[in-house]
């Protein structure tokens, strides 16, 4: 039986509708949440991401500011800009779009963001709050993964979860969130012995390793929920054939564009998994929805107006 495909766009739409209602209530009480996005230089991919974030703010009634310093900016000048945003009361969230130019010390810049305004949830203070189950700001993609599971009625408590990938942005925080939701969690990486064997134990399998189609059917326990975080651009014909041989729609798209997007999970997994997030249209839409949620949450936490 084919897997149930978990529609990230639909779930993101539900979350955004809830946020819009919350923003309306806050604004009526005289507090409009605000997000500042710092986009250094003219990286085309970053510009697309930022445009999506700003548009989401507009759609939901959140105040937003896009700040675009030149790509020649120094670390010191960027730190001054961040300090200014930290001090502004109408800005609840600060997002520094990565990557930053080579001459900028990205770690120093990210560390300079006030943890209470760190809507990416990357600051060590927020990492510590997450690991000790205290209220804070949680990284957007991991938070979105938990929302997909909960809103799709996939049980987490007591389940065996395996996370493939140990990045600070996805792997580690999603493992922590799963632990906080009472799953038994194993984190795998490039040095894991018998990766497929470990993954086969999972009721919930999260693939976040950045390798196209790495997770094949022999990694998946029949009926498992598989969350695919990867977005890999495939341009090689042989690699395309390995993944999408016999998919006429994908074939047509690959022929016209010369590339296709694929996750870390091989399409054949749909034949054994119980539930699966597609790429695109799975985890991706949740990331922006949770950024909006974090901006509202930051506004409430900073003002002490109820957030657990």
Question: What residues act catalytically?
Answer: 53, 97, 120
Instruction: Look at residues 219, 230, 227 and name the one whose alpha carbon lies nearest to residue 178.
Output: 227
Is residue 99 reached through a cis peptide bond, with omega within 30 degrees of 0 on the bond before it? yes
Note the Cα 155 to chain centre separation in Å.
20
Helices and strands (H and E) in the chain: how many: 11, 11
Q: Which residues are CB-neighbours of 87 under 8 A, at least 6 positions away?
A: none
Count CB atoms within 10 A of the CB of residue 68: 14
d(CA 282, CA 139): 17
Count CB atoms within 10 A of the CB of residue 258: 10
What DSSP character marks residue 209?
S
What DSSP character marks residue 118?
B
And the tokens for 227?
Answer: 């969350």
Instruction: Return the sign of the alpha-carbon dihedral for residues 25, 144, 290, 130.
Output: positive
d(CA 134, CA 128): 8
Whether 25 contacts 55, CB under 8 Å: no
Give Cα separations from 183 to 11, 93, 140, 146 (angstroms).
Answer: 22, 30, 20, 12
Taking the alpha carbons at both ends of the chain, their separation in whole angstroms is: 40
Instruction: Look at residues 160, 262, 270, 268 and name the one whose alpha carbon lies nearest to residue 205.
Output: 160
């Amino acid at each position: 039986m084919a897997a149930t495909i978990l529609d990230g766009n639909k779930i993101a739409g539900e979350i955004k509708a809830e946020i819009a209602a919350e923003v309306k209530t806050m604004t009526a009480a005289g507090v409009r949440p605000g997000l500042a996005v710092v986009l250094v230089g003219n990286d085309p991919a970053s510009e697309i991401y930022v445009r999506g974030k700003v548009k989401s703010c507009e759609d939901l009634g959140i105040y937003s500011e896009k700040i675009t310093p030149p790509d020649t900016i120094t670390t010191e000048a960027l730190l001054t800009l961040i300090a200014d945003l930290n001090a502004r009361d109408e800005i609840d969230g600060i997002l520094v779009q990565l990557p930053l130019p080579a001459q900028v010390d990205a770690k120093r810049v990210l560390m300079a963001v006030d943890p209470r305004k760190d809507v990416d949830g990357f600051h060590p203070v927020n990492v510590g709050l997450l690991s000790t189950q205290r209220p804070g700001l949680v990284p957007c993609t991991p938070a979105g993964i938990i929302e997909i599971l909960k809103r799709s009625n996939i049980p987490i408590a007591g389940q065996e979860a395996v996370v493939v990938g140990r990045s600070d942005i996805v792997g580690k925080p999603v493992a922590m969130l799963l632990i906080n939701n009472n799953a038994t969690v194993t984190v795998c990486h490039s040095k894991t012995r018998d990766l497929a064997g470990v993954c086969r134990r999972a009721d919930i399998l999260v693939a976040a390793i950045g390798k196209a189609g790495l997770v094949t059917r022999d990694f998946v326990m029949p009926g498992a929920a598989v969350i695919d975080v990867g977005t890999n651009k495939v341009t090689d014909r042989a690699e395309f054939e390995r993944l999408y041989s016999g998919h006429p729609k994908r074939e047509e798209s690959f022929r016209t564009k010369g590339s296709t997007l694929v996750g870390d999970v091989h399409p054949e997994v749909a034949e054994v998994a119980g539930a699966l997030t597609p790429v695109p249209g799975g985890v991706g839409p949740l990331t922006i929805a949770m950024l909006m949620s974090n901006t509202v949450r930051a506004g409430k936490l900073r003002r002490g107006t109820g957030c657990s």
